[in-house]
Homo-oligomer: A and B are copies of this chain.
Amino acid sequence: MSLHSEIHEQPQAFRRLLSAREEIQRITDEVQRRAPSYAFLAARGASDNAARYANYLWGAYNRLPVALATPSLFTYYNQPPSLKDALVVGISQSGQSPDIVAVLEEGRRQGCPTLAITNAPGSPLARCADFVLEILAGPEKAVAATKTYTAELLAMAMFSAALAQDGTRLAELEHVPAWSAQILELDGTIRDMAQRFRYMAHCVAIGRGFNYATAFEWSLKLKELSYIVAEPYSSADFQHGPIAIVERGFPVMAVAPGGQTFDSVLELLKQLRQAYKAELVVISDQPEALELAQSPIEMPSGIPEWLSPLLAIIPAQLFCYHLTQARGLDPEMPRSIQKITETR
């Protein structure tokens, strides 16, 4: 029962990482001194989804553009780009995948500041970085990442607030453990709700802005655990073509917390439910969005938008866990995949 208990360990894991705030401030002070023009991030799998959060968060709050790395340029093509003026960041729970390590090594060779965000401070990734932001999630035994994913998000959120020396946001971070504990109380409700999707063959997951990451991670968990073909989209990209796949009853998983992008996601959800008669699972703190869903999942109110990805993924994790059990599959032993995937 590692997976279910690791989902429930998230409040503790958050608390542990929040206690490292001074160490993170020390790292951001050093990074500030190097004044990078942009961040160059390398990651795979769930960590790559976490990187999408940084893409928005660091852009919006730190004015730092983020380029997501294409690791094959560093491995197969052996023609790495010039990383002048970049902060080079590798994100990996295990710190083992050779392609991610190769990106950091190249950054180091080119004289860039390098940062590893990892749960494994003794890993090859950590060993080649100037700065190591240890996410302190504790051992994760389940193949599917849950608490290491949200700890990576929290690490990036703490990094952002510390870099900006933003007192308001630094204070808001302290509420994350309590909010997450409150969300975990939905466990039984979500178990009942998941039954309806026992025979779902495919779906899409929709989110926008900060929660684009949540759409990616929800769909990754659906694939890894429940073997459902689930494709993530921003609500904007979905309208540039893919929306054609939606027919009556087509299942859409949506992450729609209040905030700057809420109106755009809400508009799409209205269209999907009212015009296309889609089937909606909606995670939100907004009644207007929840009312549109056949399966509404209500988040606590008062969570600021920039922290919503750390919390909105938790009901999605529970949903995937219970759906996997409803389908008669073993959430602890997903077929075909291992805990550590080493790609070049």
Contact = CB atoms under 8 A, between A and B. Distances in A.
Given A81-B65, A82-B64, A229-B229, A244 B44 contact: no
A335 interface: yes
Interface string A115-155: 00000000000000000000000000000100000000000
A224 B202 contact: no
Which of A71, A76, A264 gathers the greatest number of chain B CB atoms within 10 Å?
A76
Given A37-B37, A55-B70, A45 B241 contact: yes
Interface residues of A, number: 74
B239 A220 contact: no
Contacts of A83: 65
A245 B228 contact: yes
Nearest to A60: B79
A336 B224 contact: no
Contacts of A81: 38, 58-60, 63-66
A272 to B, nearest CB: 10
A184 interface: no
B46 A236 contact: no
A73 B60 contact: yes
Interface in A60-94: 60-61, 63-68, 70-73, 76-86
A240 interface: yes
Given A201-B201, A236-B44, A242 B228 contact: no
A76 B207 CA distance: 14
A341 B38 contact: no
A211 B151 CA distance: 33
A227 B240 contact: no
Contacts of A99: 236
Interface centre among A44, A242, A244, by most chain B C-beta atoms within 10 angstroms, is A244
Interface string A156-174: 0000000000000000000
**Copies of this chain present:** 2
A58 to B, nearest CB: 8
A38 B41 CA distance: 14
Interface of A: 37-38, 40, 44-46, 48, 55-56, 58-61, 63-68, 70-73, 76-86, 99, 144, 201-202, 204, 208-209, 212, 220, 223-225, 227-231, 234, 236-237, 239-247, 260-261, 264, 276, 334-337, 341, 343-344
Given A65-B83, A144-B241, A240-B343, 17 more contacts: A45-B237, A48-B240, A63-B79, A65-B82, A66-B81, A68-B68, A70-B212, A72-B234, A72-B236, A72-B264, A76-B208, A77-B209, A241-B341, A243-B336, A243-B337, A264-B343, A276-B336
26 contacts: A37-B38, A37-B84, A38-B81, A45-B241, A55-B70, A59-B70, A59-B73, A63-B79, A63-B82, A65-B67, A65-B86, A66-B81, A67-B67, A72-B208, A72-B264, A73-B209, A76-B261, A77-B209, A204-B229, A223-B242, A224-B242, A228-B245, A229-B229, A240-B341, A241-B337, A244-B336
